[in-house]
Structure 1
């Protein structure tokens, strides 16, 4: 087995403090907070503390928060709660696959195009629509102009599953969806912030007045709150690494292209297009050298489906790889990555 010496992929091991929180929670065998028992009472207290911590970390109030145990289900709930059959749904051309799939099931929907820089075209948004607005793209890190775009629609549901707590959301939104993994928490926990509760309705069949199906893992919720409390990212360091990588790769591999303006992107994400290469082969050959990167669409990476994000921007989809930078990375590791890419590209 090849020892991975450079992890520039999307996932990293959970931190020790988060692993410890999960382990302690499962070892304790937490009781269902909805039951009536002493153990359930303790669980309710811990659940309440976790929700208060998450609300603080995301600049929400506790009464705005709903927890969903299936991350891909959360955007559907958030958007569908504001939709009616005649209401138009606006979906960005670079939105995640599950959100675009929702658009296909809604009679009145519009795909909002992006320009060559990955920015949504504001003039294409209907003023009376429900808009799915991605805060930052999971492939390119490109950040949207939230104030301008939010003002264009009647109702705005933010997809903050990539940006997490990194970017302030402002006040012109009606609901927002977050993923625990965006701040180093475990997968399997999504947070919906419902700001406009007066207009939102639970979209699934129900008898009791509920807002989400429930059924999430309390240990994962506790670990998610611990992760958010301990989440720190050196954005200046990451931006310096990102700038260094951009300059070095373009100089080392003629024709290579770094997607997005660094001033309008999250500093820890970068997509690079390598000319005359095949993405899958680049990923494979780098892996043989002990370096992990990703390719394909970020929302369907298993089968390396071509990136609909790059296609929407009018860019080549082949030869594209995704890099995720972390605080632990150094300039020397970036140089090693570039050297490995030069070798791989020359061998293809």
Structure 2
């Protein structure tokens, strides 16, 4: 028998897994479907029209991210951009070695790419907030056989910003000239790209663009060689028929988000501060990540004695869509390697991430429901 009781209206608080499609992107993708269907590499009129749209999308993304248009490639996803970025650097640096230095809190897509390539991963410890030490990074990168350094601009799971500029400065001061790959998916569009990257990756669905559009950035002059079979496309860094309407919609959403982000950032920071305070007030609950130097829209906390899946399910019944487990393996609800690296509780964790449209009323309803849900679940297990 199924529960026939009406469910509360859903409040989506999982923007770190995917921001709802921005209204501007919706309008653009519908219009672009009428014009962007042809193969951009052909010479006839419809193809030239599609190529014009693709070039326009590339130019808009470049302008919004502060890069050159010829440094921008559209990939099949943010994960695809990560894989192409990392593996292309590794292939270009094959003579230097296959050793990659990275903090322990990097996304699993980075770890999987290195494992697939058979690269040697030198993982660095992080502090309780999730940050790597510049001196330790510089020392590790100076070892023979180091091909590159991989860093994230901000953590997908706890929101802590990684001090990329300071880490790269320490690298260069220590005499290391190895290239730096930056996973900027969590922050791109919300914040400027950190300086110091040679190759970077972003994902359109995390700024309100359509899913299935990643952005690979390869700095002009950086050695990068495609790690996959060649494809005779417009852009040699990608493969397959370009999704021109989706790329144009991603660019339109990015332009809109960049224009709105000062106001959205301030509002989200205030609302997340409210959630952080409410979660901290729940007994035996740990709020993780930097309270100040962080992404504005995201907070993670862990509740002692509870299971993350049970928390997600109970909050969903109350009408709140949140995440648990690792940000990169949440479908399996595996313990978070990010929280483990930070020395935080790895069970009973909840990640709340606000959309641009999240209201104060929705947040107040969430913080009112949270202690009740935690208390009810603990009572069920006799606590």
- TM-score tier by shorter-chain length is over 0.9
SS of residue in 1 equivalent to 2:332: coil
- Quick check: 1:89–1:106 contact (8 Å CA) kept in 2? no
C-alpha distance in 2, partners of 1:3/1:75? 38
Residue 29 of structure 1 deviates from its aligned partner by 5.9
Aligned to 1:31: 38
Q: How many residues are paired up?
A: 347
Q: Which SS does the other structure have where 2:211 is aligned?
A: coil
Contact 1:132–1:157 (Cα < 8 Å) also in 2: yes
RMSD: 2.0
Worse-matched range after superposition: 296-305 or 17-26:
17-26
Shift of 1:136: 0.6
- What is the CA-CA distance between 1:320 and the residue it aligns to? 0.3
How far did 1:21 drift?
1.8
Secondary structure of 2:154's counterpart equals: coil
Give the Å deviation of 1:306.
1.6
Q: 2:256 aligns with which of 214, 230, 252?
A: 230
Looking at structure 1, the residues matched to 231 and 152 of structure 2 have their Cα atoms a distance apart, in angstroms, of: 32
The answer to whether the 8 Å contact 1:241/1:331 transfers is yes
Which residues in structure 2 correspond to 1:1-348 (within 5 Å)? Answer: 2-10=7-15, 11-28=18-35, 30-83=37-90, 84-85=93-94, 86-104=97-115, 105-125=117-137, 126-128=140-142, 129=146, 130-151=148-169, 152=171, 154-206=178-230, 210-231=236-257, 232-233=260-261, 234-251=264-281, 253-348=282-377
Unaligned runs of 5+ in 1: none
Is contact 1:4-1:292 (8 Å) kept? no
SS of the residue 1:161 aligns to: coil
* Conservation of the 8 A alpha-carbon contact between 2:35 and 2:46: no
Mean Cα deviation higher: 304-313 or 147-156:
147-156
Instruction: Quote the Cα distance in structure 1 between the aligned partners of 2:89 and 2:236.
Output: 15
Q: Deviations over 1:70-102 (max 9, x none)?
A: 331211211122223424211221111121122
Give me the whole-angstrom Cα distance separating, in 2, the residues matched to 1:170 and 1:260: 19
Cα deviation, 1:278-337, whole Å, max 9, x if unaligned, reads: 111111111111111111111122121221110111111111000012343343332211
Q: Does the 8 Å CA contact 2:35/2:49 hold for their aligned counterparts?
A: no
Gaps of 5+ in 2: 1-5, 378-383
**Post-superposition shift, 1:18?**
1.4
Give 1:248 shift: 2.3
Per the TM alignment, residue 170 of structure 1 is displaced from its structure 2 partner at its CA by: 4.4
Would you say the 8 A contact 1:118–1:142 is kept in 2?
Answer: yes
Q: Distance in 1 between matches of 2:45 and 2:355?
A: 42
Over 3 Å counting, the alpha-carbon distance change for 1:28 and 1:52 in structure 2 is: closer
1:295 is paired with a residue whose SS is: coil
User: How far, CA to CA, are the matches of 1:290 and 1:165 in structure 2?
Assistant: 28
**How high is the TM-score relative to the length of structure 2?**
0.85
Deviations 1:198-225 (A, max 9, x none): 4222223438792222433111101101
Contact 1:244 1:331 in 2 (8 A): no
Shift of 1:133: 0.6
Distance across 1 between alignment mates of 2:352 and 2:210: 20
Write the deviation string for residues 245-267 of structure 1: whole angstroms up to 9, x where unpaired: 2122222x122121112211101
